[in-house]
Structure 1
Amino acid sequence: MELHIVIDGERDLAGQVYRQIKEGIQSGRLAAGEQVPPSRLLAQQLGVSRKTVSDAYARLTMDKLLVGQIGAGTFVNSALPLPPISRRLAAKDLAAGATLNDWLGRSIPLPPPRPERRSAYDFLGGAAKSHFPLTEWRQCVLHGLRKSHAARGFYAEPEGLPVLREAIARHAAFARGVQCGPVDVLVTNGAQQAIDLIARVLLAPGSTVAIEDPGYPPARMTFASQGANVVCIPVDEEGMLVEQIPDGTCLIYVTPAHQFPLGMPMSVARRKALLKRASELGAIIIEDDYDSEFRYEGRPTDSLQSMDSEGLVAFVGTFSKVMLPELRIGYLIAPSAIREAVTVAKHLCDWHAPTMMQWALAKFIDDGYLQKHIRRCHTLYASRRENLLSRLTGDLAPWLQPVPATAGFHLTALTTRKIDLALLLRLARRVDVGLYTIDMFYHALPPTPGLLFGYGAIETLDIDPALDRVKAILTEIA
């Protein structure tokens, strides 16, 4: 990479090099500790003699702006003070200030805690990374690298590589009974982008969207950012109260397999009522199927999409929960009515997902590694869930009652008596236990007091010690 220096004319060449490097250091453009090019290389790049550059470097060294390290090269002096911060325009001073202030007023939903603030025993949601088949995944990534290297160097299809779309269609049909073919699949950067793309093509300022309350904050905030009128619909033990979806609604967001965050599945009767109401409204339903690959009891339930005979359900899935949170590959099974529009929106948004990871994931699915990983994690999560439930229905029952849930890798427990949850969280943090309330998932309704226990990331042997500490705190503060 070339150091940006502009030579003007033929006079005072060393002075020009000296002044521009000095200005770059003093302004912070050249960071402390950064290596500058060897004098011979920089002279070739600038079309000047090596002596010109050497003279400039010598002056900068005398000024203690550069330091030479024998055998390593020449570097910006790391002992220099930080450059002063120049005054910049604030958002309110810009022509788009009102719009910017609207965004500045929105907080980041569900921000991950900093690593230094994570507790030793943490019930934050997440996947079991320590059990991920890293050797097999490495083989798939190398395969993706070879495939990408062999490509002709053009951009790929916005809807995703055909080989991955075929693999996703087979997986969704096999695991969730989704009715689809490769043509229906759009590969996205996580489930969040799939939700965003649907919002882009269906919503205008003032459009009405119905969502669950409590529900998934990033979805609600995405719809609100499009200027939509977001109507929060309460849920009961069977799911969203469909009869409260208002007239004029054009988009409905639900998590029927494992309601987020409470956890109960939507009943078959309620699903049929939801499809009927959507048909009356001409509304698209987003079925966010975020973690239902893991089911522990009862008979399998159909996906909402598989019950849809009119093409109203957009099925959204992700591999971040099943595999790795950092993978950021999701997918949308789009109804034919919106398929072309969301493909155009995807193209305009980021053109396509990284092809190397698409090749890798396709091989991971086709070679059977994904199903093996799901089976392995199912056994692991089932054991953790059983352990957690035995404690919540046992010695912790005087304070907490779990909400019945048949899938996923988190449980919600509602309080059975008045508890100062803020105090509980603070005291738990002091003994290195991370607890989380469900308050943040409510928007229009008053929150029901309760805790969310994610058991995907916490180790099995850590659950009992963590809950022992929670019980001791509950006994003390109650």
Structure 2
Amino acid sequence: MGQSVDVHVTLAGRGDLTARIYRQLLDAILDGRLRTGERLPPTRELAASLEVSRNTVAAAYDRLTAEGFLVGRVGAGTFVADGSVTRVEARAAARRAPAGRSVRPRRLWTTIPAPVPPGPPPEFDFRVGTPDPGLFPAREWRRLVTAELRAAPTVGYTDPAGHAGLRAAIARHVGVARSVRAGADDVLVTQGAQQALDLISRVLIEPGTCVAVEEPGYPPARRLFHSHGARVAGVPVDGEGLVVEAIPPDARLVYVTPSHQFPLGTAMSPGRRAALLDWAERHRTVIVEDDYDSEYRFSDRPLEPLQSLDRAGRVVYVGSFSKTMLPALRLGFLVAPASLRDALRTARQLTDWHGDMAAQGAMARFISDGLLARHIRRASREYAARRELIIAAVVDRFELVPSAAGLHLCARSGPEAVDIVARAAAVGVAVESLANYCGDAPQHGLVIGWGAVSEVAAGLRRLRECF
């Protein structure tokens, strides 16, 4: 016999006690709080908690049973009857919170687009930002998470900077793979890159602060800075990366994606990197370097991150496991100068304190045991093959932007790209327009990802029919 549900009943309101109990139980059934098959508390137990006679509660149960909402089972208890769902749909609207028409968010929040609930997945998904879940090492991950859960659980709240073992593993990993200069104390584990940007914003942005972002660029970062009251300025990007001379002189934070510019895919040249670091030092500005998917490289030697070239402590390096593992794990990190460490940890504590320690512990083992490096090598081979198919399919129709890393590429075109996106969507193919990543001066083209689509050849055949 299963446990009974803990249903909330009060004696407030009009009518005799039995009527009040009946009405509240009926409402709970009609609005779905009590679902078909759930067992109600025994009459004696509910009567004791309400400090009424058992007969009072039994009479309410009997009435609901007679109306077909409850059913009694000898030796088992009283349950919500089958068919109550039909009555819910026919007789009651969903239970909702008050509309609160007189309560409004700050005006700023009316200028930021609300998230759109995801619809059904397309048959062929060439959108950016998602790795192939079929490549995720599920067996190894389950084993490591299970081992963490079987170990002695973390008691109470813990270090806002994150799991000590994971911070050390990240420092070693980015030191070897990306030449980032960091020790475990320099690393703060976050729930993805977006939280890293949020913590940086809390610590560095005041209302009216000028923040420079790439144009075109990553919309969630732009919106996040805006939500903290920043005055966001788009800075053009050319073949060498962010145009340093176009950064507003009063910018106090510059957000860049130098290893694989989002969404164009170009890498910032060595000369432009040096110029940006020099500009930041002269203007006393912080650079946020988002190294979001540089683990996947398909040609050329990787360039040094800005963080490894920085000698003045002006670069905050942001990384994520959303592209190498899965976005749903919500695992990311930042590497910050020592001067920002305490403030960032305090900001993390004041927001959500810390993340999932079991997942962080599993990730520490995943890195330390060499499983992450092995997974990246395996996934890179698959992604490289998909990339070549996409290049071959579009190179004769579009101007490809040079790109040697990541999980997407950009193909420039004329305004017809918007029509191509719409026609593709109508036949089950999702692809994105470059215009979606631009501000006041739209650029035209397609942004094509290969992480989320496994049947690349079939998807490309259908996409080409839309050109």
Q: Distance in 1 between matches of 2:317 and 2:60?
A: 63
**How many Å apart are 1:12 and its aligned residue?**
6.4
Which residue does the alignment assign to 2:70? 66
What root-mean-square deviation, in Å, do the aligned CA atoms of Structure 1 and Structure 2 show? 2.5
**How many Å apart are 1:339 and its aligned residue?**
1.3
**How many Å apart are 1:422 and its aligned residue?**
3.1
Moved more, 259-268 or 223-232: 223-232
Q: Distance in 2 between matches of 1:44 and 1:136?
A: 50
> What is the DSSP-based 3-state SS (H/G/I as helix, E as strand, rest coil) of the residue aligned with 1:285?
strand
1:276 corresponds to which of 272, 275, 278: 278
Matched AA of 1:107: P
Any idea what the Cα deviations from partners look like across 1:256-312, whole Å, max 9, x if unmatched?
Answer: 000000000000000000000000111111000000011111122111100000110
Matched AA of 1:413: A
Q: Distance in 2 between matches of 1:130 and 1:37?
A: 42
Q: Distance in 2 between matches of 1:87 and 1:3?
A: 18
Matched AA of 1:82: A
Matched AA of 1:144: E
Q: Distance in 1 between matches of 2:17 and 2:298?
A: 75
**How many Å apart are 1:245 and its aligned residue?**
1.1
Q: Distance in 1 between matches of 2:250 and 2:52?
A: 71
**How many Å apart are 1:52 and its aligned residue?**
4.1
Which residue does the alignment assign to 2:428? 432
> What is the DSSP-based 3-state SS (H/G/I as helix, E as strand, rest coil) of the residue aligned with 2:156?
coil
- Given the two structures, how large is their TM-score scaled by the length of structure 2? 0.90
Which residue does the alignment assign to 1:123? 126
Indicate if the aligned counterparts of 2:393 and 2:464 stay in contact, CA closer than 8 A.
no
**How many Å apart are 1:209 and its aligned residue?**
0.5
Matched AA of 2:42: S
Any idea what the Cα deviations from partners look like across 1:140-191, whole Å, max 9, x if unmatched?
Answer: 11022123xx135211110101111111111111111100000000011110
1:106 corresponds to which of 97, 104, 112: 112
Any idea what the Cα deviations from partners look like across 1:105-136, whole Å, max 9, x if unmatched?
Answer: 32146x5742x2x2212201211211211111
Indicate if the aligned counterparts of 1:39 and 1:50 stay in contact, CA closer than 8 A.
no
Matched AA of 2:420: L
**How many Å apart are 1:49 and its aligned residue?**
5.8
Any idea what the Cα deviations from partners look like across 1:47-81, whole Å, max 9, x if unmatched?
Answer: 66654433220012234443457878411622132
Alignment of 1:287-366 (within 5 A): 287-366=289-368
Alignment of 1:41-190 (within 5 A): 41-43=45-47, 45-46=49-50, 50-68=54-72, 73-75=78-80, 77-78=84-85, 79-80=87-88, 81-83=91-93, 88-91=98-101, 93-94=102-103, 97=104, 99=106, 101-108=107-114, 113-114=118-119, 116=120, 118-125=121-128, 126-147=130-151, 150-151=152-153, 153-190=155-192
Matched AA of 1:467: L
Indicate if the aligned counterparts of 1:144 and 1:358 stay in contact, CA closer than 8 A.
no
Any idea what the Cα deviations from partners look like across 1:417-443, whole Å, max 9, x if unmatched?
Answer: x45233322322233222211111111
Matched AA of 1:104: T
Moved more, 81-90 or 201-210: 81-90
Which residue does the alignment assign to 2:387? 385
Q: Report percent identity of matched pairs.
A: 41
Mark the runs of 5 or more structure 2 residues left unpaired by the alignment. Answer: none
**How many Å apart are 1:200 and its aligned residue?**
0.9
Matched AA of 2:131: A
Q: Does 1:405 align with 2:409?
A: no
**How many Å apart are 1:315 and its aligned residue?**
0.4
Which residue does the alignment assign to 1:447? 442
